[in-house]
Chain A
């Protein structure tokens, strides 16, 4: 029949028009689509800053030698440590750290100068306020770096003044952590993941909740048309959501966009299909909206945590690093970082794109099969 395809497309048109109208009338949905990126970006970008600055440092210098003074200036010649009153004894210093008046205490032994000259190892005592384990760990790492670098500079007998060493150290350690650059692309991915699964599961389960799905099944539309009509308008809206995220990240956080927009949106579209598939799957296995929401926590939290969106993959134990290979968001995160920060094109990120494409096809197939099955 020649009119067959035409009839089908207009039926699809009626379905898609209905979806679009429902979405546009859902104020909560519009709120999620546009305000979620703003809120999440602000929270992760501003509030959760991992930079450690202006730590209160107390020093008891028993050595009182040129070497010890050089070492102290190496410690304080940066933004990280700020020297404060340390009391007059080791015991007083310990008390101050314990009482939370100081973050770090350092005791330089009297034999420093002597050991230094006789090329022996000197032990320097470092007291850390362990209440905030994260800050303590970072401070510890800084001090180690500074000590090592100080050591190297002295041994190589370089004439470079100490103060030039400090910024160098801090830069090397911080890598991405100094700025929001690490976070913002991750948050773009995180928001897209949350919004796409929530919105698509809501669109499908709502139909089940209100009984209109049964009514639809009695009409001549096929389940393929029902799903397609849901996926197309949602994809368009989610592309807008990514654009909002991208705009905010460059406008508010001055994250550079060094890549190609087409590459960025193509990769995003792949992830949108992944997210929608997860949402449809959630809706297909739940009875109602409440169940969908609860189940989505089980899926979304691990997906986000394992993806490297908010904490670097490298800091995870090997088992979880391996597990993260099964997380589609991991590939999207790494692709977005590469596109934004390094200006990577398809040639550089083809592995991520391929992984995402496989995930998209498999998940879409799985979720539509599950959707169709529950109709029987």
Chain B
């Protein structure tokens, strides 16, 4: 099978899934309106779209769990309900027995699906090794981290060797390293001929799909390969950086405002998005726009022309279809400016030991007012423990802390009045209405009546919830809840804001709105410390810290981190991608190789030496290299590379 199975000249292949004029109504609401698509064998087919687009409903119908209102759905040529044994299904909820070990869970699934013993052993070894779970096989499923649980759930789904695998946002809340392993395994199984359909809120994952549909309000907005979607936009993305030592604290926001204020901007500039240390300007006329930007400011700016991202596609296709009021500004109360260089949050060699376990070891960091600091790390790297120490919930075993300039008494009520906190769990009261929740936090923080009403209006306007304030909070979809939760955490205009995975499971549009709100606070001088599993999101931070095994192993601005990566990222297309993938993973470190749609991404330390070696290796196995080109490191690549190199170092030390 030299050709990719979904190429146009193999149209004779019977599609695995056919959806014709699919409609699904829940009472009066139309969840899915007239959906048409087909998925071919061996495809890794992605569904993206905001919350409530109808992705889960579509999956339920494809999996035979739910009946369609109208239209025709065929899976493997017949009704999904009748081939359910050949369909694997995985959702955000873990469908594991928590009291059984990894191995027992697999044995159980294999048992009910009557998998022969020798095949079971073979698959078990193959999948557990791919997921890096082999060494934990005795561990109870209940004791695994979220990422490990999802990886195990995927292994369980694969045990019965299904022909079709349906995955509904399987990697929500899973750390980047586990997500990379998860998707690498998906690439492997599609290579074996399994067809995979997956919905995801993470667009960096969607980049790895062979084809995508973008859904909104039950309809397909766009369908095609990642490259097709991007080129269909017919635009370029200009990365604008201000080359000034302390460019944070509203510099970028001011530049953005200036750009929008220019008379020509309306026709030339399609979209501007501010990140931690750059602006992304989307335009159809890159050269003219470049000139426009240069004339707009006297700051020393550097501009790089790049292809648009999937997020650009997503946001621009759906722009104008989702109404959010940006005009309402948060009523900030003027405060005495903080002295220059004042530290909002600082840790000096803090450590935390639980029994014999060193959760956090000798971490030092410092966050200034107006800065957004991103703390990144895999599950179990000590992020949550660190953020709990930084915000005063946990006492460090060793080391010194500074919070809002205070060195001691970090749990005092007066100090907590100046902090805002939003944890990864959704932290509003489900059984109170939206308004009651906001009023409660206003009451707890003693917000003055005059400000209270204005601020509540601000939250409602910015989360698109005007007129629904008397709805029970529990009925809101995730994206809205999360923005509301953020709103509740900033009712009292905190000086320091802690956000622990604030956008987990939130769609790209809602995420963008949320970051606009966060940046509004940073621009006013609030210090923000945020943790996230979502590396596109980390681009919004002005400073990043990477944690591995309880230690801070790298720190810097997003651009700085990417630039400081040793080696080079290569994008290589092979004549037989699957064979090349397996070959290279055998011969290089496994983490260096991953599948992105129709090419492999490979991290090499010395491209001049290693590229020829890769070409030779491939030739030896009868595989041709079609195209190879260098790529800039993404934050995700940097993250994986930093984590893997650090763990190798830690292992060496241990040995």
- Residues on A lying within 8 angstroms of B by beta carbon are 7, 10-11, 13-15, 17-18, 21-22, 25-26, 210-212, 214-222, 376
B413-469 with Cβ < 8 A to chain A: 413-414, 416-417, 419-423, 425-432, 436, 439-446
- Please determine whether B393 and A217 come into contact, CB atoms closer than 8 angstroms: yes
Q: Which residue of A lies closest to B437 (CB)?
A: A18
Q: Does A210 lie within 8 Å of B430, measured CB to CB?
A: yes
14 A-B pairs with CB atoms under 8 Å apart are: A11-B444, A11-B446, A15-B444, A18-B436, A18-B443, A25-B431, A210-B430, A212-B427, A215-B423, A219-B444, A220-B417, A220-B444, A220-B446, A376-B395
Min CB distance, A208 to chain B, in Å?
Answer: 11
A-B contact sample (4 more), CB < 8 A, given A11-B444, A22-B431: A14-B442, A210-B426, A210-B429, A218-B420
Bound-state CA distance A300–B444 (Å) is: 35
Q: Which residue of B lies closest to A6 (CB)?
A: B446
For the complex, give the distance between the alpha carbons of A212 and B431 in Å. 12
Q: Which residues from chain A contact B414 at a C-beta distance below 8 Å?
A: 220
Q: Mark B270-307, 1 if CB is under 8 A from A, else 0.
A: 00000000000000000000000000000000000000
B443:A215 contact, CB within 8 angstroms: no
Which residue in chain A gives the minimum CB-CB distance to B494? A218
Measured between beta carbons, the chain B residues less than 8 angstroms from A212 are 427-429
A14 touches B427 (CB 8 A): no
Measured in the bound complex, the distance between the Cα atoms of B446 and A7 in whole Å is 7
The reply to whether the CB of B391 lies closer than 8 angstroms to some CB of chain A is yes
Option from B429, B430, B439, B445 in Cβ contact (under 8 Å) with A219: B445
Least CB distance from A287 to B in Å reads 12
Chain A residue numbers with a CB within 8 Å of B395 are 376
CA distance A219 to B492 in the complex (A): 10
Which residues between 604 and 649 of chain B lie within 8 Å of chain A, taking CB atoms?
none
User: From A220, which residue of chain B is reached at the shortest CB distance?
Assistant: B413
Verify A18–B432 contact, CB threshold 8 A. yes
Size band of the B side of the interface? 20 to 34
CB distance from B596 to the nearest CB of A (A): 36
Nearest neighbor of B414 in chain A, beta-carbon distance? A220
Report the separation of the CA atoms of residues A210 and B473 in the bound assembly, to the nearest whole angstrom. 13
Partner of A215 from B427, B432, B436, B446 at Cβ < 8 Å:
B427
Chain A residues with CB under 8 Å of B429's CB are 18, 22, 210, 212
Binding site for A on B (CB under 8 A): 391, 393, 395, 413-414, 416-417, 419-423, 425-432, 436, 439-446, 489, 498
**Chain A min CB distance to B364 (Å):** 23
Indicate if the CB atoms of B441 and A219 lie closer than 8 Å.
yes
User: Which residues from chain A contact B498 at a C-beta distance below 8 Å?
Assistant: 218
Say how far B451's CB is from chain A's closest CB, in angstroms: 15
B426→A10 contact, CB < 8 A: no
Q: Least Cβ distance of A184 to chain B in Å?
A: 35
* Docked complex Cα distance between A212 and B432 (Å): 12
Smallest Cβ-Cβ distance to A218: which chain B residue: B421
Please give me the residue from chain B that is nearest to A14 by CB atom. Answer: B443
Q: Are A214 and B440 in contact (CB under 8 A)?
A: no
Q: Given that A218-B393, A218-B419, A222-B413 are known contacts, is A10 also in contact with B428, CB under 8 Å in the complex?
A: no
Q: Which of A21, A218, A376 has the most CB of B within 10 A?
A: A218
Residue with the highest number of chain A CB atoms closer than 10 Å, among B417, B426, B443: B443
Query: Number of A-B pairs whose CB atoms are under 8 Å?
Result: 75
- B428 to chain A: which residues have CB within 8 Å? 212
B423 near A10 with CB under 8 A, answer no
Q: From B433, which residue of chain A is reached at the shortest CB distance?
A: A21
- In the assembled complex, which residues on chain B have CB atoms less than 8 Å from the CB atom of A17? 440, 443
Nearest first, the 3 closest Cβ-Cβ pairs linking A and B are A14-B443, A211-B425, A218-B421
Q: Which residues of B contact A219 (CB under 8 A)?
A: 416, 441, 444-445
A210 proximity list for chain B (CB < 8 A):
425-427, 429-430
Partner of B444, one of A14, A21, A22, A214: A14
Chain B residues within an 8 Å CB radius of A14: 439-440, 442-444
- Residues of A within 8 Å of B426, CB to CB, are 210-211
In the complex, are the beta carbons of A26 and B431 less than 8 A apart? yes
Known: A215-B427, A220-B413. A10 touches B446 (CB 8 A): yes
- Return A375 CB to nearest CB of chain B, in Å: 9
Residues on A with C-beta less than 8 A from B391 are 218
Which residue from chain B places its CB closest to the CB of A222 in the assembled complex? B413
Q: How far is the CB of B290 from chain A (nearest CB, A)?
A: 45
- Tell which of B422, B431, B443, B445 touches A13, judged by Cβ atoms closer than 8 Å: B443
A221 to B419, CA, bound (A): 13
The distance in angstroms between the C-alpha atoms of A219 and B421, with both chains bound, is: 8
Cβ of A22 and Cβ of B432 under 8 Å apart? yes
Which residues on A sit within 8 Å (CB–CB) of B489? Answer: 215
Residues in chain A near residue B393, CB distance under 8 A: 214, 217-218
* Chain A contacts for B427, CB-based, 8 A: 210-212, 214-215
Contact assessment for B416 and A220 in the assembled complex, using a CB-CB cutoff below 8 Å: yes
Chain A residue nearest in CB terms to B440? A18
A220 neighbours in B (Cβ, 8 Å): 413-414, 416-417, 444-446
Given the complex, which residues of A lie within 8 Å of B440, measured CB to CB?
14, 17-18
Of B416, B430, B431, which is within 8 A of A218 by CB?
B416
Least CB distance, A237 to chain B, in whole angstroms? 16
A179 CB → nearest B CB, Å: 43
Residue of B393, B431, B442 with most chain A CB atoms under a 10 A cut-off: B431
Q: A26-B431, A210-B430 are in contact. Are A215 and B421 (CB under 8 A)?
A: yes
- Complex: A10 Cα to B449 Cα, angstroms: 13
Q: Compute how far the CA of A373 lies from the CA of B425 in the bound complex, rounded to whole angstroms.
A: 22
A108 to B421, CA, bound (A): 87
Residue numbers in A under 8 Å from B422 (CB-CB): 215
A228 to B: closest C-beta gap in Å? 14
Chain B residue at smallest Cβ distance from A215 = B427
Q: How far is the CA of A21 from the CA of B443 in the complex (A)?
A: 14
Closest residue of A by beta carbon distance from B412: A220
Nearest chain A CB to B395's CB is how many angstroms away? 8
CA distance A7 to B444 in the complex (A): 10
CA distance A216 to B422 in the complex (A): 10
Max chain A C-beta neighbours (<10 A), residue from B391, B420, B436, B498: B436
Contact of A10 with B431 in the complex, beta carbons under 8 Å: no
In the bound complex, CA of A28 to CA of B430 (Å)? 15
In the complex, are the beta carbons of A21 and B421 less than 8 A apart? no
Q: How far is the CA of A217 from the CA of B446 in the complex (A)?
A: 15
Shortest Cβ distance from B14 into chain A, in angstroms?
Answer: 48
With contact pairs A220-B413, A220-B416, A220-B417 given, residues A11 and B432 touching in the complex (Cβ less than 8 Å)? no
